[in-house]
């Protein structure tokens, strides 16, 4: 049994007209100690999917279909009281902006103490001991338990958030673009530290980012999302070395390589579709450089491509779709 099993998840945002489907039939599994990356450009539904998994959505967003099972328990149908017993103890969330996620008028130590007392009974000495321990885990001097968030650098604030997420040594840590506000050197250092902590403590990670290059050497599995759907998934090295979907290739071509000959970077033309009025066929078709006539009217499923899957008619089995070239 996987640690986390998400099946056919659908999230809609209520609007004045038709609802906007921000997450459309998304499935993923996360095993014990696994690192799963979720990538895609802004507005593709990555963060909404993550918040749905953690049951942190607020109106007008709502899960309208699917299941999210954590250790066999369906979080979608679980009461808030039961969820509060699992959050932080068994799974935790690292928000995108630590400056906004941390309380600006409380010290780091006070916020750690609030999290510990909300989910267990601890003496003052135990709270101090555990707070010091997790700060040292992420390379921060315990003296900063007396600091307020504005007194820390961006990288230190993100590491403090990770330390808070590890207070109870959970089985799963969900991270929503924790490196987006950091420079490339700080990003690399934080990613290395997350991987080291994962190896030491054994927790699994779901890591959401818009930067494919960031997870290339750290994740085990990769999901590429576009317009609320998973368009490609599989082992990270397979997706990077042999991308099967034109959108994945477009994302990779938008990042410079530090090795090999210099080549011009090519962006992806156009804009993502309106999720309240998705296209009849493939959602990437208006921006796709290799689109077929059938792509405008045929909605592709996820086709197996070796160990990966791709939502593209170019990957359809020839015997089932003889008119589509392989």
156 found inside a domain: yes
Same domain, 136 and 203: no
CATH no. for residue 20?
A: 3.40.50.300
Of 279, 295, 320, the domain-final residue: 279
Which carries the bigger pLDDT value, residue 242 or residue 96? Answer: 242
Same domain, 261 and 190: yes
* Euclidean distance between the first and the last CA atom of the chain, given in angstroms as a whole number: 35
Q: 């101090």: which residue's tokens?
A: 128
323 found inside a domain: no
Same domain, 67 and 183: yes
Domain count, the chain: 2
Same domain, 177 and 258: yes
Closest CA to 160 of 102, 115, 219: 102
pLDDT at 260: 66
Q: Flag whether pLDDT at 320 surpasses 60.
A: no
Same domain, 264 and 156: no
Same domain, 149 and 218: no
The alpha carbon of 128 is separated from its chain's Cα centroid by a whole number of angstroms, namely 31
Is residue 257 very low, low, confident or very high in pLDDT (cuts 50, 70, 90)? low
Q: Can you give the residue range of the structural domain that contains 146?
A: 102-167
Closest CA to 48 of 60, 36, 37, 32: 60
Is residue 326 very low, low, confident or very high in pLDDT (cuts 50, 70, 90)? very low
DSSP 300-312: --PEEETTEEE--
Q: What is the pLDDT of residues 83-94, one digit of tens each?
A: 988 988 999 999
Of 139, 167, 195, the domain-final residue: 167
Same domain, 191 and 246: yes
253 found inside a domain: yes
Under 8 Å between Cβ of 282 and 313: yes
269 found inside a domain: yes
Which carries the bigger pLDDT value, residue 319 or residue 286? Answer: 286
301 found inside a domain: no
Same domain, 66 and 157: no
Same domain, 69 and 205: yes
286 found inside a domain: no
Of 132, 167, 202, the domain-final residue: 167
Same domain, 108 and 220: no
Q: What is the pLDDT of residues 175-212, one digit of tens each?
A: 998 887 788 888 888 899 999 999 999 999 999 998 88
Under 8 Å between Cβ of 187 and 214: yes
289 found inside a domain: no
Verify cis geometry, omega within 30 degrees of 0, for the bond prior to 60: yes
Same domain, 206 and 176: yes
The stretch 139-161 carries a mean pLDDT of 93
Same domain, 79 and 175: yes
3-class secondary-structure state, position 137: helix
Which pTM was predicted?
A: 0.91
158 found inside a domain: yes
């Amino acid at each position: 049994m996987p640690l986390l099993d998400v099946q056919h998840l659908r999230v809609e945002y209520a609007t004045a007209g038709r609802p906007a489907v921000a997450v459309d039939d998304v499935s993923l599994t996360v095993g014990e100690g696994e690192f799963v990356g979720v990538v895609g450009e802004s507005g593709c539904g990555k963060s909404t999917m993550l918040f749905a998994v953690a049951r942190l959505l607020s109106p007008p967003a709502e899960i309208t279909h699917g299941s999210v099972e954590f250790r066999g328990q369906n979080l979608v149908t679980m009461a808030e009281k039961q969820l509060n017993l699992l959050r932080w103890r068994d799974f935790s969330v690292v928000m995108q902006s630590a400056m906004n996620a941390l309380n600006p008028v409380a010290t780091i130590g006070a916020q750690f103490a609030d999290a510990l007392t909300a989910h267990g009974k601890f003496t003052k000495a135990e709270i101090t001991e555990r707070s010091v321990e997790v700060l040292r885990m992420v390379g921060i001097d315990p003296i900063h338990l007396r600091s307020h968030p504005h007194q820390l650098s961006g990288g230190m604030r993100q590491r403090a958030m990770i330390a808070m997420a590890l207070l109870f040594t959970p089985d799963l840590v969900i991270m929503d673009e924790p490196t987006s506000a950091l420079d490339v050197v700080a990003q690399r250092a934080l990613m290395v530290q997350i991987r080291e902590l994962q190896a030491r403590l054994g927790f699994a990670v779901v890591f959401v980012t818009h930067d494919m290059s960031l997870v290339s050497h750290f994740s085990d599995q990769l999901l590429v999302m576009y317009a609320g759907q998973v368009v490609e998934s599989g082992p990270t090295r397979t997706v990077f070395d042999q991308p099967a979907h034109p959108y994945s290739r477009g994302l990779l071509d938008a990042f410079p390589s530090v090795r090999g000959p210099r080549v011009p970077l090519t962006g992806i033309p156009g804009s993502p579709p309106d999720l309240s009025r998705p296209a009849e066929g493939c959602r990437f078709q208006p921006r796709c450089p290799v689109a077929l006539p059938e792509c405008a009217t045929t909605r592709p499923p996820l086709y197996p491509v070796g160990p990966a899957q791709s939502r593209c008619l170019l990957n359809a089995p020839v015997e089932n779709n003889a008119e589509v070239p392989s």
